[in-house]
Amino acid sequence: MGRRFAKAGEFTGVVRQAVGARVVAAVRLRGGSRKGVYRVTLDDGGSVVVYVWSAEENYWVGNGSSAGNAAGHVDGIGHFETAHRRLSAAGVRVPRLHLADRSRARYPADVAVLEDVPGESLEGLMARDPARARGVLGRLGDALRLMALDRGPGHYGRPADLTSVTAPQPPCEQGVLTSALRDVDEAAAREPRAARGRELLRDAVRELAGRVRPRTEYGLVHGELGPDHVLVDGAGTPVLIDFEDLRYFDVEREHAFLHIRFHEEARGLRVPGLDEDRLDFYLLAHRISLVAGPLRLLEGDFPYRDAMRGIAEHNLAEALRHGRRIFAARR
């Protein structure tokens, strides 16, 4: 039996509460794996975007992997609200939030109603008009510098979770190492080429982790910042979306991910003072995660299967190349 997604009429109450308009139509947008994203057309000619957090919308739930279930985030709307406030306070443009409702009185799941940012994604703009995109990339670099300068409370983690942190934390890179080793094992259990490269990848990620010197100063990082997670408004301002994984962490982890998603353009997004050993370690950890995560999703009913398989295959090849390069340099 297939998943049941929302119909336009089901948003009537929550949208009326949020913006006082009547729903005309709703279209579920492509891409999300943790929440549903709907563009809702209104009777006044405008539109809003509605986020829905529910088991029906979360492709990580029920795919047989505890790691996958964890990736879904139990309190998606809570992380969203806190991250929205934190980014706004840092001076970073995010969609205006009309309403966040976890009462289930107007819709049978946690739901948020947001500004429908006019324009396109940065990914689309980079492909269509590279010259205009360069100006937006410059402003995105400014936003990343504001985030890096937001040093937070001296602990790492999601802002909503840090109020309860009192005990000393282990180095944040230790948790990334543990996750990367687990991801290697999970990928090896699902993909023969990963199984053949299992020991190489485990040795490589340990080698790079061993080069990282601990520190206790953390900046604000988006967590999954690709050009598809940046919208461009009418003024050419970058607007960050899909930021529920926002946290205080090593900023190098963000910039390693930017290298994967923005390629050569990532150089212009760099903030001052990045640690090259951390960048190298986090880059390999991201590559491994982008193998294991897609393979977990493919065990469920995630619909965009060719794209997900392509992500896993590309990053497996890159991770193996990265690992071989580490040990070739010793010779």
Percent of the chain whose pLDDT exceeds 70: 94
DSSP element (H, E) containing 139: helix 130-149
Residue 232 has, within 13 A of its CA and on its CB side, a CA count of: 22
Which structure tokens are listed for 262?
């923005």
Residue 3 lies in a domain: no
* Domain end position, chosen among 66, 89, 115: 115
C-alpha to C-alpha distances, 7 to 33, 156, 169, 228, 243, nearest whole angstrom: 19, 39, 45, 25, 25
CATH of residue 110's domain is: 3.30.200.20
User: Are residues 258 and 193 part of one domain?
Assistant: yes
Residue 65: is its pLDDT beyond 60? no
Q: Assess whether 40 and 81 both reside in one domain.
A: yes
Residues 280, 156 share a domain: yes
**How high is the pLDDT of residue 256?**
98
Residues 6+ apart with CB under 8 A from 191: 291, 295, 312, 316
Comparing 186 with 300, which gets the higher pLDDT? 186
Same domain, 19 and 134: no
Choosing from 92, 115, 138, the residue where a domain stops is 115
Question: pLDDT digit string (tens) for 210-221?
Answer: 999 988 889 999
pLDDT tens readout for residues 126-183: 999 999 999 999 999 999 999 999 987 788 999 888 877 677 889 999 999 999 999 9
Residue 25 domain-assigned? yes
Question: Does 135 lie in the same domain as 102?
Answer: no
Q: What is the pLDDT of residue 68?
A: 35
* Domain-located, residue 216: yes
Query: How many Å apart are CA 246 and CA 314, to the nearest integer?
Result: 26
Q: Is 1 a domain residue?
A: no
Based on the domain organization, do 32 and 145 belong to the same domain?
A: no
List all residues 6 or more positions away from 26 whose beta carbon is below 8 Å from its beta carbon.
6, 7, 8, 11, 38, 39, 40, 41, 50
Q: Residue 47's domain spans which residues? A: 8-115
pLDDT digit string, tens, across residues 199-252: 999 999 999 999 999 888 899 999 999 999 999 999 999 999 999 999 999 999
Same domain, 130 and 274: yes
* Inter-CA distances, 223 with 21, 51, 255, 258, 279, Å: 34, 19, 10, 10, 14
Q: What single string gives the DSSP state of each residue in 182-242?
A: HHHHHHHHH-HHHHHTHHHHHHHHHHHHHTPPP----EEE-SS--GGGEEE-TTS-EEE--
Banded pLDDT at 196 (limits 50, 70, 90)? very high
Residues 73, 149, single domain; the answer is no
**Residue 65: alpha-carbon gap to chain centroid:** 19
Residue 159 lies in a domain: yes
pLDDT value, residue 73: 45
Name the domain boundary from 99, 115, 131: 115
Q: Residue 167 carries which side chain, given as an amino acid letter?
A: A
- Is residue 62 pLDDT above 60, yes or no? no
Q: Flag whether 197 is in a domain.
A: yes
Q: Is residue 64 part of a domain?
A: yes
Reported as a pLDDT band with limits 50, 70 and 90, residue 61 is low
Q: Which among 32, 89, 72, 69 has a CA at the least distance from the CA of 241?
A: 32
Give the residue, 41 or 327, on which the prediction is more confident.
Answer: 41
Distance CA 79, CA 57 (A): 17
Tally Cβ neighbours within 10 Å of residue 110: 21
Asked if the structure places residue 70 within a domain, the reply is: yes
Please give the tally of structural domains in the chain: 2
Mean pLDDT of 106-118: 96
Euclidean distance between the first and final Cα of the chain, in Å? Answer: 56
Report, as an integer, the average pLDDT of 112-134: 96
Average of per-residue pLDDT across 84-89? 96
- Do 306 and 169 fall into the same domain? yes
Are residues 73 and 13 both part of a single domain? Answer: yes
Rounded to two decimals, the pTM is 0.92
Q: What is the pLDDT of residues 256-312, one digit of tens each?
A: 999 999 999 999 999 999 999 999 999 999 999 999 999 999 998 898 899 999 999
Contact 268, 153 (CB under 8 A): no
**CATH code, domain carrying 194:** 3.90.1200.10
- Shared-domain flag, residues 228 and 284: yes
Statement to judge: residues 258 and 202 lie in one domain: yes
